[in-house]
Structure 1
Amino acid sequence: MKLRQMGLAGLFGLIGWVGSAWAEPQVFAIEADDLTGQTINLAPYQGKALVLNFWATWCPPCVKEMPELEALSQAHPEVQFVGLAIDTQRNVKRFLEKVPVNYAIYVTGHRGVQIMKNLGNKTGGIPFTLVLNADGSIAEQVLGQIDSAQLDQILINLKN
């Protein structure tokens, strides 16, 4: 009986390990639309440190943190920044005319909520930011508005 329990524990441990090993590759399979309406995926960002920010034009904390994310993207050019908008393409285009950023912005629409849930944000709340190491492992998850000083330190640590 004890051997059977140990075997089950080992099996569940292996399943957990395999599950965590597969958590990061799903980031690079995310599909979204660019601002011209073309569907893209995040595969080109694989192998690079990445800040992935889920946001919307109607979300005040999201809007407030965008200039901070822009500044951090300029301060850390070796890190890729990507914004995934849970919004419409029309709203995002209008917003970016007023608040331009130099990092990539893609549109997921409402399917972005499920994408976030699959990545560990069980509430589906925004803003939601993931920081990935170059090897694809998740270094940090932030639900809510970022603290730019804290994120800056995390990005500095990615280099080391």
Structure 2
Amino acid sequence: MRFTGLIALGSLVALTLTCGCDRGGIPANADRLAPDFTVSDGENTIHLANYRGKVVLLNLWWSRCPPCIQETPALEQLHHDRPDIAILAVSIDTDPGSYRRFLTRYHVDVDTVRDPDQTVAKLYGTDGWPETYIIDRKGYIRRKVVGDPDWSNPEIRSFLKSL
């Protein structure tokens, strides 16, 4: 029994190390060109193709989502620590007032746009928030991060630096 338990524990550790920082596994569309999109909310527009040549964190979020709220300070800190990384925050908020209050309250200064029709979420197959796709400089999806990771984690920072 003990030997079997150790093997199971070893397998779990290996799986954790293999999955690394993505917490959601490597997405089905990993190593494929990230689907291009343009989203405009009347105030802001994000066109993914404009960020080619940069590492992109495509963050899908909602202002009333507790993990999204928890993730925001660390994501903002990453933005200030690594201005070479493009953080694109796409909100699914239907209420423009809630969206704007969130941006003000949490001092959000990453590129953000409101997408109430969930155009980008549908394109990427996202149905839970937050979810972040890490896209390399050539435009290929490398990881999907589910939930609210600690963006200051050295493993995550190292992975981002490797891109």
> Residue 140 of structure 1: which of 135, 139, 143 is its match?
143
Letter in 1 for 2:144: Q
| Change beyond 3 A, Cα 1:38–1:75 | closer
Deviations, residues 135-159 of structure 1 (Å, cap 9, x unaligned): 011121012112321432221222x
Give SS of 1:101's match.
coil
TM-score, scaled to structure 1: 0.72
Greater helix share, structure number: 1
Normalising by structure 2, we get a TM-score of 0.71
Give identity over the alignment, percent: 31
1:119 aligns with 2:127: no
Partner in structure 1 of residue 67 of structure 2: 61
CA RMSD of aligned residues (A): 2.5
| 5+ residue gaps, structure 1 | 1-19
Stretches of structure 2 lacking an aligned partner (at least 5 in a row): 1-28
Runs of 4+ aligned structure 1 residues displaced above 4 Å come to: 20-23
Please give the per-residue CA displacement for 1:57-99, whole angstroms capped at 9, x wherever unaligned. 0100001101100101111111111100010332211111111
- Using CA pairs under 8 Å that are at least 6 residues apart, name the structure with larger relative contact order, 1 or 2: 2
C-alpha deviation, 1:107, in angstroms: 0.8
Q: Which has the larger radius of gyration?
A: 1
Contact 1:83 1:106 in 2 (8 A): yes
Count of aligned pairs: 133
Which residue of the other structure, out of 98, 107, 110, is the alignment partner of 2:114? Answer: 107
